[in-house]
Amino acid sequence: MSLSPSDDRLIVALDVPNAVAGLALADKLGDAVSFYKIGLGMLTGGGLALANELKQEQGKRIFLDMKLFDIGATVEAAVRGLAQFDLDFLTVHGDPHVVRAAKEGAAGSNLKILGVTILTSLDRADLDAALIQQGDLPDLVLTRAARALDAGADGVIASPQEAAAIRALPEAAGKLIVTPGVRPQGAALGDQKRVATPAQAVANGVDHIVVGRPIWQAPDPAAAARAILEELAA
């Protein structure tokens, strides 16, 4: 099956220690991958420089996963600074005041603001420990997603297991759903607790899936990426 290198539904998480390792991985993946996520863990390892290199020199799309949370003025200033790099996606926590501030900071740019609902590594016991209100986790995710979208978010980050319910929200019309917690059949779960396969995620209404370890830990990362793309294409 021939695959278009522009299939950007797969976002590869460059969860490696620094920009040098990230660039080496991107070189291995080549044309198989057109969209990369750079997270907070690489920020002090040259993450922004890597984002610029991949975007400006290689034409890749970039998802900056910063999960910003602060008072509105600080979030707005931070997002305004990041928007100047012409990146594609940025995460903030889905609290309405944070989303509204981030949208102000992104005004005039093409940067899409994605609200984080509840991290896919958390379960109800984790929420109890953090004094988060009672209720079933999927219901809390749905409520947070609706509020983030109503506040102006361009999309949300959510587990693939909640994606179908989010897609059915009136507020989700025309909005993006991006999901981590995607594992190809047979892959180790790692630190994720709410997972699905790539095909299940897309069937549930997800626009982009984020995959890290199953690709960069593979003996042949490009082959691992192509296998996921084949599953998406099928």
173-179 long-range contacts, CB within 8 A, separation 24+: 175/149, 176/89, 176/112, 176/114, 176/207, 176/208, 177/205, 177/206, 177/207, 177/208, 178/11, 178/63, 178/89, 178/114, 178/206, 178/207, 178/208, 178/209, 178/210, 179/120, 179/206, 179/208, 179/209, 179/210
**Distance from the Cα of residue 224 to its chain's centroid:** 19
**Distance from the Cα of residue 163 to its chain's centroid:** 13
217-224 long-range contacts, CB within 8 A, separation 24+: 221/25, 221/28, 221/29, 222/28, 222/29, 222/30, 222/32, 224/184
Question: Nearest-CA neighbor of 230 among 197, 192, 205, 181?
Answer: 197
Which two structure tokens, joined as six digits, stand for 162?
A: 């909640």
- Any idea which residues carry the catalytic annotation? 67
**Whole-angstrom Cα distance, residue 225 to residue 114?**
24
- How crowded is the C-beta side of 36, counted as CA atoms within 13 Å? 29
